[in-house]
Amino acid sequence: METPSPGAPPTCWPPQLGGLRASPFPHPALHVLHSLARGLLFPAYWALDRLLVFCVPTRRTPFPPFTPLPRGLCHFLVTLLGTLASLLLLLAALPLLFLGLLLWVPLQYWRRPFCYQPPPGNWTPPSPWCPPSDPHRSFGFLSANLCLLPDGLARFSNLQHSQKRAEWMGTALLRGAKGPNYGATGSSPPQAGSLVGELISTLPDSLDFVCLQETFDLRAASKLAQRLAATLGPVIYDVGTTGFYSGPQFKLLGSGLLLVSRYPVLNARFLPFPNGRREDALASKGLLSVQVQLGMLDRQKIVGYLHCTHLHAPEEDWAIRCEQLSLLLGWAEQFEAQSDKEDDAVAFSVLMGDLNFDNCSPDAQEQEHELFNHFTDPCRLGPGQEQPWAIGTLLSSPMLHCPVACCPVKLRSVLEQEDGRSMYLAGPPTGTLPSGSWRGRRIDYILYRRESNTLLIPAVDRVTFSTGLAGLTDHLAVGLRLRVTAQSRTTSDLGKAHIQDQQTEQ
């Protein structure tokens, strides 16, 4: 048999996906029973959701005055009738609810904490990266909080119509993932060493990995996963450990995480946070860690690590977030140590998600966490110090339905001005704008680990803040493009020998 030359493309691409079955259950019968349990729970879930829709006020009236009645009276009558109908349906669905819970709760013991949507049989991933014939390759990452909650809960964030928003978000994500590098923004590829942050009105082009948060509505998440997998590649969704959990705790919702990869997924793991308080205690937030294969280097697999999370939300609970940061840092290192083989070359390790704290508020304990000693935040100069081009990612909830906030181009234009940022970006937790230019609260992050003495060296090409999902969510999307360079074996070996000599002398 002929031995492939170093740097040659792998003979089998994409590789076989080991152990990632589509169903989260080990036996088809358990999957059928779980689907039956969810069917029994759905009428009560839908009735409760409708009840919240009619009871939670919105910043604008969704019911136009089709009758000659005054608009306020018409809205009152529709709300009253809708509330009564939802209550009656909820009462009628209670027997099915109890039966569904009796079936659903024990099934969580056998359920793997995520669903895997494989790509179709004709799916073709990006060509494998094979240095040294191709010494550089860029990878595009995107993190976005979609607020895809059930409609009743989404109204607390002044959003609604989660099913429709999921369809429109899918269209926007597919458009961004399939675009050419830097084509839509009208900018040329950055020169080496020129770190640039940019506010754009479209999603960044050529996305390879997408981490989404708050995809809590399972109908919307399933539709989004199927659509993205059909075009982009494997999707991991419905992530979380629900039911009874050690503590004891009872989790009604998953983590809301959804991950899309255009490269083959080799391994995945989810671990839930053991702490949580108030409304966050009902959600199974945690860390989703994924290993992907990017190509081959001298018969070594080139792999990348993705860590996706969404931290505790209430602003005053900084101690809980600090504990979660410590947990996820240890879990990420453990996952990489268990997955990394001696013959694997690691291209990157990236942490993405909504961390629910900023780097501009005074006395924020999370800013000093040791996480930032292990992962690099390209938007941050230090604790409490941001890059001059970095802006906040959390939008002002009362302004979400303004015409400007619903148009990506207009929103980008106003956010370039200080007056526009103070109006359309969420204010600080204290409620008072600090002196100086207000740039908003940046709570959505993409961090990367800067390794030393490796064959593959990542560097930042570009950071983007995108208004491409304007009108669909209450967050800006954050993008990062990493350029990974393959060193020669000789250079790497010399560097390792130099380090060893220094350690021996000490």
> What amino acid positions are annotated as catalytic residues?
475
End-to-end CA distance of the chain: 49
Residue 293 contacts residue 344 (beta carbons within 8 Å): no
Give the SS3 label for residue 112: coil
Distance CA 265, CA 128 (A): 13
DSSP 244: E
Distance CA 167, CA 173 (A): 10
Beta strands in 18-108 (DSSP E): none
Which pair of structure tokens corresponds to residue 358?
């900023």
Give the relative orientation of helices 162-177 and 218-231 as an angle to the nearest 10 degrees. Answer: 20
**Half-sphere exposure of 50 toward its Cβ, with a 13 Å CA cutoff?**
19
Residue 79 contacts residue 52 (beta carbons within 8 Å): no
Residue 479 contacts residue 445 (beta carbons within 8 Å): no
Contacts of 124 (CB under 8 A, 6+ apart): none
Amino acid letter for position 317:
D
Give the SS3 label for residue 493: helix
- CA dihedral sign of residues 141, 426, 154, 75: negative
Q: How many residues does the chain have?
A: 506
Burial of 212 (0-12, 13-18, 19+ CB in 10 A): buried
Contacts of 416 (CB under 8 A, 6+ apart): 199
Residue 349 contacts residue 304 (beta carbons within 8 Å): yes
Distance CA 413, CA 406 (A): 12
DSSP 399: G
Angle at the Cα of 339 from the Cα atoms of 337 and 345, rounded to 5 degrees? 85
H helical segments located in 148-264: 151-154, 162-177, 218-231
Residue 293 contacts residue 266 (beta carbons within 8 Å): yes
Angle at the Cα of 420 from the Cα atoms of 416 and 421, rounded to 5 degrees? 75
Residue 474 contacts residue 397 (beta carbons within 8 Å): yes
Q: Which helix (H) or strand (E) holds 15?
A: none
Distance CA 417, CA 433 (A): 16
